[in-house]
Structure 1
Amino acid sequence: MSKSTITESKKNPIKPLTTDKKIELYNQKITEMYPRLTCQVNLYQEQIILSQNGRHFAFQVNDKLRERLEKLLLMMDGSRSLSEIQEIIYPKNPEAINEIVHNLDRQGFIDDVVQLRVTSGIDALLELEDLTNNLFNKSLKENHFYKAINLTTGDLPINILYGFAIEYYHLFCHNCFLYSPILSFQGSTKIQQLIKELYFQKYGQDELLLAALNTIGITGDKLIETIPLTETMAMCNGLAYWANFDPLFLLSIQGVLAEKTLEAFESYIHFCEQAELDSCFIKMIKQLITTKLNRESESLTRHIFQEIPHINEEMSQRLRRQIYLFVEIYNNFYKAIWNHYSNTSDLLRRIPTI
């Protein structure tokens, strides 16, 4: 470096940033970021303590500040931008929120605050339904039973028609295990009420199907001594698992599942009439369709997801991944009905003979 350069540098030295200037630049940087706490929040009467790996950071608070600060910390889950949080918590003084976030970040209590793709609940549901329908269209092309049941021409063997009713009876019998766990779904009271309506929509489906089977001599006592097809149990177990461990996913597939079930039964009743099955059997199936298999479930699902404000990208990806498994289980369910009942003269798989 030349002497003149050194002299010039001394005349115009680079001034270090003041604390206020650093905060101003930081505020500009984080306005559209999505802060997420990486520590445990412990709430006490006069202070809030953040704990992480054996170190602690305490806020001394009064009642008024405690409520606002608690709300701020709970909202910092990565789902909202800082500008959204400012608008909700302290719109008159957003700089105060920025300063708190700056201090928490400096202490290492905030994860790398990156922008997340957040989708409204109803938009996420519509995307999932589109994916599900596309996968159904691809995977069910080679499914003999599914293709046959959706045609208005041709016929189906009587054993397959009765087998369809038997396997759906076993499936409907598990409704209590599929829907009772989600009655305690954590959300708004509006969502809980909608889930109750969904539950009552499913309640009694098995009883109407059993009444139909009774007309052809298949009683409840006989069905107790039988077991469903392996693929039917796979459907039951899969739905029961999601009900207990991922209720949001179970709710997300209800609309498509209800629609596909209704379509199948509407075609099914056509084949039953064409095969001139027992009139009482047909009457009970029609009652099942009109009272329990209408499109109300699809409507309820839409209303539920309209009450969910947002679903982040991580959750959306998890839901999408599980759609592939659900479609595979559904496809196998129909394959098994065709493969088994088209090759057997015994409608009931009695436990003693298996």
Structure 2
Amino acid sequence: MSKYTLPPLQEDSTVTSVLEPELSQGKFQEKKPQQPSVLRPKLACKVNYYQDQLIFSQDGRDFAFQVNSQSGKILKKFISLMDGTKSMTELQQMFSANNSEFINTIVRHLDEHNLLDDVAQVRVNSGIDTLLELEDLTTELLNQQVDENLFLKSIKSETSQLPINVIYGFLIEHYHFITQQCCFDSPGLSFQSSTKVRQLLNERYTQEYRQDQELVMAALNAIGISREQLADTMPLPETMGMCNALTYWANFEPLFFLSTLGFLAGQTRKNFEFYSKACERVELDSGFINPIRQLANSKLKLEPENLSRRIFQEIPHIDRQTKQRFRGQTYLFVEIYNNFYTAIWNHYSSASHLLRRVSAI
């Protein structure tokens, strides 16, 4: 058994002594103080305390640290905190602020005997950090396409007037999207990795889904479109394309699906705010405008909340390969989202009939 000896510590002292290795081969005695390569140390062995010794056991190998009662208490606490969640700097500040080399030496010796794992990379790719990167990428990609999207460009202009059929078509396609929402929300509601995430999704589903559907339906009723008529109506292929993509991700890439919720909610909130103003500019009937205004106002009240961020704060880490995969899927997601609004403009700006009836096929 290899043996390291720690000098005695006084009851009122801080951990400032330098570790004195006593390996028979003397391999550590010639080393100059240096920073350990491990950034966020995590023990990769079992630890036992026996007769003033801390014994590290791994695959039939044992290493013992000789300690006294006081240094043993400090080391046991120190070792218990080497779980990969704290950086070397944090550990040094907690246990040896005036002499960081003491902590460095312990960690370096454990590392050189392969008794530690370094989870620094895992910690860098935390859930919330990964989400913020995806949000930045999504915004950048959308901004590159918005000038070519006549619908998004027109709805944000304070001077342009949307064609009446495009205004109605926007709401018809959103009705189809809302009615398909259960297909991609249901897998998320049973998300297995986190009870907290399931609670957040259930809150969203309960609060928004029914209210949105009823308000959209009230506006469509005001222009003579009934629920029965909509049941006999086909959504645009691009609308179903977005619903199908979200359903796929919800089932097979649930974490990526959850990363899109904050973006979708934020963009829907902004678009309905612009849409409400566009309806007012063309002076549509109050029976149509009032539910739209109510819907826009209800979404504005939720503005401080970002569901994806609340969810990803509950995700401790995302590995590098998964993050890269999510970045690739973000390009596809933005393209599908952009196509959805492009199709609304292209179809309804020239359509002679608002409803694409299944019975007419």
TM-score w.r.t. the length of structure 1 is 0.70
Paired letter, 1:333: F
Aligned length: 300
Which of residues 253, 274, 284 in structure 1 aligns to 2:260?
A: 253
Deviations 1:206-234 (A, max 9, x none): 22211210111111110111100000000
Paired letter, 1:247: P
> 1:145, 1:337 within 8 Å by CA — same for their partners in 2?
yes
More deviation in 200-209 or 127-136?
A: 200-209
> 2:169, 2:348 within 8 Å by CA — same for their partners in 1?
yes
Residue 128 of structure 1 aligns to a residue whose secondary structure is helix
Residue 218 of structure 1 aligns to a residue whose secondary structure is coil
Paired letter, 1:215: A
* 1:187 to partner: Cα distance: 3.4
Residue 335 of structure 2 aligns to a residue whose secondary structure is helix
* 1:252 to partner: Cα distance: 1.1
1:265 maps to 2:272 = yes
Identity %: 52
CA distance in 2, matches of 1:82, 1:262: 40
Alignment of structure 1 residues 126-205 onto 2, 5 Å: 126-204=132-210, 205=212
Higher helix share: 1
* 1:195 to partner: Cα distance: 1.9
Residue 251 of structure 2 corresponds to which residue in structure 1?
244
CA 1:80–1:281: 2 relative to 1, 3 Å? same
Q: Please provide the CA RMSD for this pair.
A: 4.1
CA 1:327–1:34: 2 relative to 1, 3 Å? farther
Deviations 1:165-217 (A, max 9, x none): 00010001111112121112233433222222222243112222112101111
CA distance in 1, matches of 2:348, 2:149: 14
CA distance in 1, matches of 2:224, 2:142: 35
Which of residues 325, 329, 335 in structure 2 aligns to 1:328?
A: 335
Residue 353 of structure 1 corresponds to which residue in structure 2?
360
CA 1:184–1:101: 2 relative to 1, 3 Å? farther
CA distance in 1, matches of 2:280, 2:111: 71
> 1:31, 1:81 within 8 Å by CA — same for their partners in 2?
no
> 2:187, 2:250 within 8 Å by CA — same for their partners in 1?
yes
Which of residues 311, 314, 319 in structure 2 aligns to 1:304?
A: 311
> 2:269, 2:299 within 8 Å by CA — same for their partners in 1?
no
1:223 maps to 2:230 = yes
> 1:259, 1:295 within 8 Å by CA — same for their partners in 2?
no
1:286 maps to 2:304 = no
CA distance in 2, matches of 1:114, 1:292: 40
> 2:38, 2:111 within 8 Å by CA — same for their partners in 1?
no
CA 1:215–1:20: 2 relative to 1, 3 Å? farther
Residue 116 of structure 1 corresponds to which residue in structure 2?
121
* 1:290 to partner: Cα distance: 2.4
The runs of 5 or more residues in structure 2 that have no matched partner are 1-22, 45-58, 61-79, 92-104
The runs of 5 or more residues in structure 1 that have no matched partner are 1-16, 38-56, 59-71, 87-93
Deviations 1:25-68 (A, max 9, x none): 9xx98745899x9xxxxxxxxxxxxxxxxxxx99xxxxxxxxxx
CA distance in 1, matches of 2:142, 2:245: 17
Residue 325 of structure 2 corresponds to which residue in structure 1?
318
Residue 121 of structure 2 aligns to a residue whose secondary structure is coil
Q: Would you identify which runs of 4 or more consecutive aligned residues in structure 1 move more than 4 Å? A: 17-22, 28-35, 79-84, 98-105
CA distance in 2, matches of 1:176, 1:221: 19
Paired letter, 1:251: L
Deviations 1:225-252 (A, max 9, x none): 1100000000110111111111211211
CA distance in 1, matches of 2:26, 2:177: 65
CA 1:103–1:256: 2 relative to 1, 3 Å? closer
CA distance in 2, matches of 1:348, 1:95: 73
1:232 maps to 2:239 = yes
* 1:114 to partner: Cα distance: 9.0
* 1:301 to partner: Cα distance: 2.3
* 1:331 to partner: Cα distance: 0.7
TM-score w.r.t. the length of structure 2 is 0.68
Paired letter, 2:331: Y
